[in-house]
Structure 1
Amino acid sequence: MNLKHYSYYLVSLVFLGLAFAKAQSPTLESKSLKSEISQSVNPLHADDVIAQQAWVDSIYNQMTTRQKIGQLFMVDLFSNKEKAHIDRVRNLIKNHEIGGIIFSKGTPQLQAPLTNELQALSKVPLMIGMDAEWGLAMRLENTFAYPWNMTLGANPGDELTYEVGKRIGEHCKRLGVHINFAPDVDINTNPDNPIIGNRSFGEDRDNVTRKALAFMNGMQSVGVLASAKHFPGHGDTDQDSHKTLPTVSFDAKRIDEIELYPYKRLIDNNLASVMVAHLNVPSLETRAGYPTSLSEKVVSGLLKRDLGFQGLIFTDALNMKGASNFSSPGDIDLAAFKAGNDVLLISENVPKAIDKIEEALKNGEITEDRLKQSVIKILQAKYLVGLHQYKPIELSGLQEDLITNQDVLLYEKSISNSVTLLKNTSNLLPLKNLETKKIAYVQMGDDHGDAFIEQLNKYSRVDRVRAARLDELMNKLSAYNTVIIGFHKSNDSPWKSYSISDKELTWMYEIARKHDVILDAFVNPYTFRKLKSTTNFESIIASYQNSEISQQVSAQMIFGARDFKGKLPVTSGEFKVGTGIYLPSIGRLSYSTMPESAGLSSAMIAKIDSIANHTIDQQGAPGMQVLVARKGRVVFDTNYGFHTYDKRRRVSSSDKYDIASVTKIVATLPLVMELQEQGIISLDDTLGELLPEYRNTDKENITIKQMLSHYARLKPWIPFYSNTLDSITQKPLKQLYSNTKKGGYSLIVADNLYGKSVLKDSISNSIRLSSLREKLEYKYSDFPYYILKDFIEGYYNQDLNELTQNHFYASLGMENTTYLPRNKFDKSEIVPTENDTVFRNQLVHGFVHDQGAAMQGGVGGHAGVFSTSNDIAKMMQMYLQGGYYGGKSYFKEETINTFNFCYYCDQEVRRGVGFDKPQLDEVGPTCGCVSMQSFGHSGFTGAYTWADPENEIVYVFLANRIHPDANNKFLIEENIRTNIQQVIYDHIIE
């Protein structure tokens, strides 16, 4: 090699080597992120440089002129097209020895084996490229789609964009792709741009540059070449270069300061390649209508000389209309090469183009040195991506590697950091004081909002309201004070229409005129340009994309379960670029499908599934709900089986279970805690002080603390109902029960069974007159909750049903939690319990299973509440958070601690005050893996819930294990509930 050639070779080699060296990016703020970049790459060391030079020389020196020219071409290939299409590429590889392939539509299952086949055909390994700006899904089915650049541009930080770039690079590498034509660094300053738009990080050059740099660094850190496009800048056009030649009319100064700015920064930080666009830029190329991709002034002058770029230069696709000035086949390819491009992308006629370039070499129109520059750069790049040690793509496990939990989690994080709050008049968001809200959801746009409305209903009741006419809609909405308008447009591609119709605008304005309105747009943020006025809109949200995760995350933000962090990446209507109200969460549970988001392993899911399905197979219960939350996030919320063994109705998340004794800690206990915190009662108050009827009895000196710790010598239970049955027929006594509701028979016990109010008094008297157990020791008893029910209802002059709704359930958003569920919900939404053959003589369905609570009309202090796993989790999370939830402090933290304390542990009493606590020996209510600060309760029907402040875990299990027979003890004997608890703790990863 002569000195001149060696000098060029070394400069180029150093540049491409540095493309994978440690990134020098001052915009990446996280030290740990910088460290990861440094650790994840393998820059060329001295030995590598020598090895690379030897490999490149060995290839280049054996090439004929036509073989060298062949390396310049990267041809398009659709893996899902007909054989003739694929044969064309086979022929180009065998007979013209092209240098690379850019894959387009198809699937990984088609592309991977085809790649292996074509690599085997090629004498020199092929450079494989793809347009995968937001992931392989930009081109391939059955692959993962990351958020569009516009969405990532709303993220106030850059770290997640780096992670997205890295993960897309890993997908590319797994599929045998060496160069991804990304990131798009166009600064989209024209809202009418038909081809860039969502593909851009936005209109602010600094934000675009930071995001592009982060994306590039992430992708190149795993050994996949990045390609910044579309040089010199396609962001301020209103035409599509696929169809015509767009004109950029700015002067050179403006282009230098804005459009070229990202390229300068990326080039300084070792950008591997650039794609030159087909644009008409008169200030850079004086020839009228002459594309920048073919302009020597732009490619060799501006890009190479002025900007000092020495990496690979690709043309944009040469079959695009923006580059169709040349009539003779091959002429455009020659012009592009003469302009300074290295790789000619998607030539319309490769054989003719090779002939043209070869002829130009012969007649001196181009030099051997010019050809060598490009071919050497291409071969160096092939070495850097590992083609000197080429291995076929491993086909097994390919699909699993391309769509992983890691991808879903990263997508969720990216969306969560991007959703943008643009307006929030009167601090409507996050929605608080849910007891005062009557919320409707109105869907607009042409796409679905099912995940949105489903997620909204996890927080409070939100009714979907539809109508064919505006007057009909307004009439229906008159019952609501808050309306959420979801504007949903297709998420299929970034080019889909995002416009609001005139009809939709009219309806929006009218709804906003009469209601508090939250407008949430799951669409390109330019849609807000259509709003002539936002005066009557209290809150406006940009959610950018209509994916399920975007809908879920945005719904969570509306209720304050996640922070609003995003910043608008473009100006749209009255909202300027950078607009974004930071709004912190208010302590409500958030939701994720990824356990890893809360430091749990997804391997947990299969094990819980196995235990739950085994339970159903063994008829331990017909069905169940299982929920796991950690660090304030529900990461597992699954329903199993059916309501009954006839398998007619599957269990759904909104189905209500009889939670039996869990009622104690979600109904009576919080009311007691509230009274204690207010100073109305003390834990040391005695029954004689609370209730006059207990004075001068053997129970008058029992304290609240003692009886709620189950350390008061109280009997565990009395079968109150048995004394109300006819001694001969064993049927309910007619003087106490009636088949119809009539005078005196006001307590509803079951279907067609009503009791006299005297039943409640008889229960209270039986407890008061019952004898105490001889020995003072731990003994679980329901009696304290009967007694406290009498006191609480007497103090407030209201029953527990009203009190729990007014004090807790309504404001917590526990819309599916209630006593007397048949009064509020359809019977089909309620899971039945036992087929009672000894008291009510019917399947108990929608009425409390516990006989004592049934005799009290379904409202007991110890039983009677029906709920869902999601609702129970809300109250448990409130306890876990020291009494705070949804922006409201229900209790002081010291109050929670007072009740969550084992006062008699030294007497071998594990219980707190009302709360169950972990076992003190080997046998007890938990898996033995929880912290001693944890607390919870279980219920006879199969209900179980536990909260662990130390590990930040809430676990809820609901089942009707007593259907159809209460003697079914499989759930208990097999420790099903605590086995699942053990699985949860076994899968803590951080």
Structure 2
Amino acid sequence: MKNTIIKILLLSCLYIFTVSCVTPKTVIPKPPEVVIAPIIKPVFDDTYGFDSENQKKWVDSVYNKMTFDERVGQLFMVSAYSNKDSLHINSIDKLIQDYKIGGLIFFQGGPVRQAKLTNRFQSKSKIPLLIGIDAEWGLSMRLDSTYRYPWNMTLGAIKDKKWIEKVGVQMGEQSKRVGVHFNFAPVLDINTNPKNPIIGFRSFGEDKVNVAESALALMRGYQSLNLLATGKHFPGHGDTEIDSHAALPTISFSKERLEDIEFYPYKKLFDEGLASVMVAHLNVPSLEPKENLPSSVSHTIITDILKMQLGFKGLIFTDALNMKAAKNFRDPGEIDLEAFLAGNDILLCAENVPIAKEKICIAYQDSLITEKRLAYSVRKILKYKYKVGLNNYEPIPVPNIYKDLNTTANDALQYELYENAITVLKNKNEILPIKNLENNKIAYVKLGDDINSSFVTTLKKYTEVTEVFDENIDSLNVKLKNYDTVIVGFHKSDKAWKKYDFTDTELLWLQELAKNNIVILDVFTKPYALNTILNFDEIEGVVLSYQNSDVAQIVSAELLFGAIDAKGKLPVSINTNFKINDGLTTQKLNRLGFTIPENVGMNSEVLSKIDNFANKAINQKMTPGIQVLVARKGKVIYQKSFGYHTYENKVKVVNSDIYDIASLTKIVATLPNVMQQYDQGKVTMETTLGTMLPIFDQSDKKDISFKELLSHYARFEAWTPFYKATLDSSKFPLPKYYSKVANEQFSKQVADSLFLRNDYHDTIMKKIVDSKLILKKEYKYSDYTFIILKEYLERITGKTLDILVQEHFYNSLGMNNTTYNPLRKFNKYIIPPTEIDTYFRHQLLQGYVHDMAAAMEGGVGGHAGVFSNTMDVAKIMQMYLQKGNYGNRQYFSEKTFADFNTCYFCAEGNRRGIGFDKPQQPGAAGPTCGCASLTSFGHTGFTGTMTWADPETEIVYVFLSNRTFPGTNATNTLSKENIREDIQKVIYEAIVK
């Protein structure tokens, strides 16, 4: 019987040899498949064990039915591409069908193409193929249209390893979706050589403990989905200056050093169940005495050390056998045989499978390879095929692959990763975070050759930041003399192996900038770029953001302004300047930050329905343009603009445009100043109007209380068209009241080339004093309230309201896009027009307040006149939500906010708070969707604006538009169609926790 089996095996080897040697034109009929009798049970070293009896039964069953040819074929995992032509595809078909290969490692291509090819190749294989991919930072390392995670060195800066484990989980989910069972990650190399040309950023760092903990977290996450992770590159590729793709690197360390440092991560991961190891092509004299013998073919390194000494029982892969470090040692086929003899289980990227199988077959015939040795690797491979579910193989469902791979969960995690990774290395005089915005004129200077738009855009959302450029460093420094702080962003390409160092010119410029200015350097590239900076003494702040992705730029800007605190720790040393694990913590200021909805318990898909309502309003001409912002838990999660400035559709609305916010002025300008007066005890809820303003002391309004006044419960009329008394019979401004040019008597600008006489303000106030009170005491919304409060504030402070609100709030809040009379500061082309006035000013109103009474106050009204955008309005609403605190500055006490956010007359049917609008009472009409809590507050405006904040859900909502354009006589369909309220309803529907 034994002789019969040997003859059968020899026939199989002879057949393989014959097929590999014939010319392509020769056709040799394939003999019937020879099967080794199932009664033969090969000797098998079962020391690594099975996970279950079912697994063992499946392995035994499959192995015993396999031909010798099939068994040898299992040892090969060949390169496959989904971006190559039919010639390549057909060659893989042939390797599967004729040479029975056991697996594929996919390289470049696309996810749908790869999935389809995987299904094709699996259908042609008798035994399901093991599919691997080398995707250290996610599928995007190889596949287009997929998600890229940060480099390992970026992840190495994260101290809380739960975030890296989540990376592993998401990588695993994406691998499964495209039919991948193996990822050749994590990298366990300890990058102790900054000049390493091939590892570098692929390593978690140069500290063995950090590398082990980070890799272990990634492995746990990935293998939690019954997928297989691969530690590489054993015995350690971290300290080389040669790329093993090009030549054979030498590792000159002692065995003791290797065991202490390089082996450390492997030992930790072996204890936790690492599935596989990839062996590198390295010359390691202290481990392998044979000169220039690659570690990938060293029996000493693989069998004696990896298996026996370290006790590794998982799968062992060679590194790619088509790399020059391997090719230069042996020809194709010979290198494969030597690798198998050394103890590898799977021969990766074999260049010539037919020849390699021939060599192995002959070695088997010559008893260089025993049945026990072959069975050991093949059965181990089958064990892991069972582990990944190939015992119940099902084709990959192709529909929705792109959607499934690019979920919001990826973006959510990306924000968390950079929030935990970005590292502050220097913070002289606590320059970070940037605090006193009102006294800090900030410039931004770009170095590097890559994009910086997300960084600059986000910086400008916090305060006014001016981009300064000059081709001459001396001229640049002259321009920067007017600035208090200079942020220098160093932006290099985020592509893997792009050059990342500072140029000599950039180093000179940085030196000169630091010498002449207060500088914060923010580096958006690999940490080793800092090695070229020899002196950090004159740089006040150093921030390492690691990569130049959009999320890295956004999060780094957040850190600079204190929306998040610094948590990252340096994973490598930088010359003698910074050590491993350096990383300063910074103060967190409670300013608005940025993330995606899922990170604050909301659903992006639901929230995206806002687009439908906004587009409906645009398409049905309810308004030419719209801005919408949503924030939750201190993070902006939605900020979009829709439509155009006018119905001519020439200028698109962008987030930085500023709108006439109409009655939002009441709570954005007047109310916060009034709250400060209350906080200082200058007024109480019972203070009377006669006490506040002497002009009311002899009127029938003198006993109106502060509480009644701000609750719109003072029996005032809604409003008075003061402007009509200043027009002639043709409704044009009378020369008695207006001048086309400004002078000492006519200084209040009402519109372009139209100035009202200064003393008309007294006339307006007198008309309010003399106005009739409505007979019934009931809720009646009136502009008089805030016109009166403006008068009060200006008299008690001695400053006009526009100056007062800038000094007390806007400057320190970073509301640099918020102002009265915006044309004094901004170009009109960023201001959507509100109306073509045909009844008073007879011109296009663009940059001039729409409200007539506010216009007659020179654009500065207590009830209207402010121009702003959604981001700035959100800041002051967040300040209210934080009970008077923003940027760690207390503008008024929590008690004051609570007093003003109280509905004192709800029992009488008046929903109003003190200055704030409040949600409608059950069964009544009102300003909200009806879904906001009773503690919520906000306001709406005539031009089509709304802002609302809810302490219970921690939501801030801002809606701005110019629905009054081109004229106010049209039906207010924006209001009738409940667009603002329907959007608010969507926001609440998007809350998941």
CA drift at 1:7: 6.4
Which 10-residue stretch deviates more, 887-896 or 816-825?
887-896
The residue that corresponds to 1:682 in the other structure is 684
Unaligned residue ranges in structure 1 (runs of 5+)? 18-48
Question: Aligned letter for 2:812?
Answer: S
SS at match of 1:288: coil
The residue that corresponds to 1:445 in the other structure is 448
The residue that corresponds to 1:150 in the other structure is 153
CA drift at 1:743: 4.2
For the pair 1:296 / 2:299, whether they are aligned, the reply is yes
For the pair 1:352 / 2:355, whether they are aligned, the reply is yes
SS at match of 1:944: strand
For the pair 1:224 / 2:261, whether they are aligned, the reply is no
The residue that corresponds to 1:42 in the other structure is none
CA distance in 2, matches of 1:957, 1:345: 58
Q: Please list, as runs of the form range in 1=range in 2, the aligned pairs for 1:562-961 lying within 5 A after superposition.
A: 562-573=564-575, 574-592=577-595, 594-726=596-728, 728-922=729-923, 923-961=925-963
CA distance in 2, matches of 1:466, 1:486: 12
Question: Aligned letter for 2:878?
Answer: Q
CA distance in 1, matches of 2:554, 2:70: 54
CA drift at 1:925: 1.4
- 2:278–2:318 CA contact under 8 A, matched in 1: yes
- 2:74–2:103 CA contact under 8 A, matched in 1: yes
Query: Could you give the per-residue CA deviations for residues 641-694 of structure 1, whole angstroms, max 9, x where no partner exists?
Result: 011111111111111111111100011111111111122222322121122221
Query: Could you give the per-residue CA deviations for residues 78-126 of structure 1, whole angstroms, max 9, x where no partner exists?
Result: 2112222222222211111111111101111221111111111111111
CA distance in 1, matches of 2:415, 2:358: 51
For the pair 1:407 / 2:405, whether they are aligned, the reply is no
- 2:573–2:580 CA contact under 8 A, matched in 1: yes
SS at match of 2:602: coil
CA distance in 1, matches of 2:908, 2:97: 87
The residue that corresponds to 2:483 in the other structure is 480
Query: Could you give the per-residue CA deviations for residues 487-535 of structure 1, whole angstroms, max 9, x where no partner exists?
Result: 0111011x22221111111111111112111100011111111111111
CA distance in 1, matches of 2:874, 2:589: 16
Question: Aligned letter for 2:450?
Answer: D
Change (3 A) 1:544 1:328: closer
CA distance in 1, matches of 2:426, 2:330: 54
- 2:912–2:918 CA contact under 8 A, matched in 1: yes
For the pair 1:429 / 2:432, whether they are aligned, the reply is yes
Question: Aligned letter for 1:211?
Answer: S
The residue that corresponds to 1:8 in the other structure is 45
CA distance in 2, matches of 1:279, 1:70: 26
The residue that corresponds to 1:30 in the other structure is none
The residue that corresponds to 1:25 in the other structure is none
SS at match of 2:104: strand
Q: Please list, as runs of the form range in 1=range in 2, the aligned pairs for 1:400-549 lying within 5 A after superposition.
A: 400-493=403-496, 495-549=497-551
Moved over 6 A (4+): 1-4
For the pair 1:187 / 2:224, whether they are aligned, the reply is no
- 2:731–2:839 CA contact under 8 A, matched in 1: yes
CA distance in 2, matches of 1:4, 1:12: 18
Question: Aligned letter for 2:796?
Answer: Y
Question: Aligned letter for 1:691?
Answer: L
The residue that corresponds to 1:31 in the other structure is none
CA distance in 2, matches of 1:703, 1:165: 63
SS at match of 2:742: coil
CA drift at 1:4: 9.5
- 2:607–2:986 CA contact under 8 A, matched in 1: no
CA drift at 1:714: 1.2
Question: Please, what is the CA RMSD of the aligned residues?
Answer: 1.3
Query: Could you give the per-residue CA deviations for residues 817-874 of structure 1, whole angstroms, max 9, x where no partner exists?
Result: 0000111100001111122111111121110000000011100000000000100000
Question: Aligned letter for 1:934?
Answer: S
Unaligned residue ranges in structure 2 (runs of 5+)? 1-37
CA distance in 2, matches of 1:421, 1:892: 33
CA drift at 1:228: 0.3
* TM-score normalised by length of structure 2: 0.95
SS at match of 2:971: coil
Question: Aligned letter for 2:845?
Answer: V
Alignment: residue pair count:
953
CA distance in 1, matches of 2:330, 2:708: 97
Question: Aligned letter for 1:943?
Answer: T
SS at match of 1:458: helix
CA drift at 1:889: 1.1
Query: Could you give the per-residue CA deviations for residues 885-914 of structure 1, whole angstroms, max 9, x where no partner exists?
Result: 112111111111111111112221111110
The residue that corresponds to 2:25 in the other structure is none
- 1:13–1:377 CA contact under 8 A, matched in 2: no
SS at match of 1:733: coil
Question: Aligned letter for 1:676?
Answer: Y
CA distance in 2, matches of 1:533, 1:61: 68
CA distance in 2, matches of 1:327, 1:506: 49
Question: Aligned letter for 1:612?
Answer: A
- 1:962–1:968 CA contact under 8 A, matched in 2: no
Q: Please list, as runs of the form range in 1=range in 2, the aligned pairs for 1:199-218 lying within 5 A after superposition.
A: 199-218=202-221
Q: State the percentage of identical aligned residues.
A: 52
- 1:910–1:916 CA contact under 8 A, matched in 2: yes
CA distance in 1, matches of 2:860, 2:568: 47
- 2:43–2:371 CA contact under 8 A, matched in 1: no
CA distance in 1, matches of 2:126, 2:662: 74
* TM-score normalised by length of structure 1: 0.95
Question: Aligned letter for 1:911?
Answer: R
Question: Aligned letter for 1:255?
Answer: L
Q: Please list, as runs of the form range in 1=range in 2, the aligned pairs for 1:977-988 lying within 5 A after superposition.
A: 977-988=980-991
CA drift at 1:626: 0.6
CA drift at 1:136: 0.5
Which 10-residue stretch deviates more, 739-748 or 260-269?
739-748
The residue that corresponds to 1:333 in the other structure is 336
- 2:42–2:371 CA contact under 8 A, matched in 1: no
The residue that corresponds to 2:401 in the other structure is 398
CA drift at 1:177: 0.7
Which 10-residue stretch deviates more, 859-868 or 781-790?
781-790
CA drift at 1:327: 4.2
- 1:13–1:380 CA contact under 8 A, matched in 2: no
SS at match of 1:54: helix
Change (3 A) 1:964 1:248: same
Which 10-residue stretch deviates more, 297-306 or 787-796?
787-796
Question: Aligned letter for 1:81?
Answer: K
- 2:179–2:396 CA contact under 8 A, matched in 1: yes
CA distance in 1, matches of 2:292, 2:325: 9
CA distance in 2, matches of 1:755, 1:682: 35
Query: Could you give the per-residue CA deviations for residues 528-572 of structure 1, whole angstroms, max 9, x where no partner exists?
Result: 111111111111001000000100010011000112111111111
CA distance in 1, matches of 2:698, 2:762: 19
- 2:44–2:376 CA contact under 8 A, matched in 1: no
CA distance in 1, matches of 2:633, 2:519: 31
Query: Could you give the per-residue CA deviations for residues 736-780 of structure 1, whole angstroms, max 9, x where no partner exists?
Result: 012222341111001121110122111111101111111111111
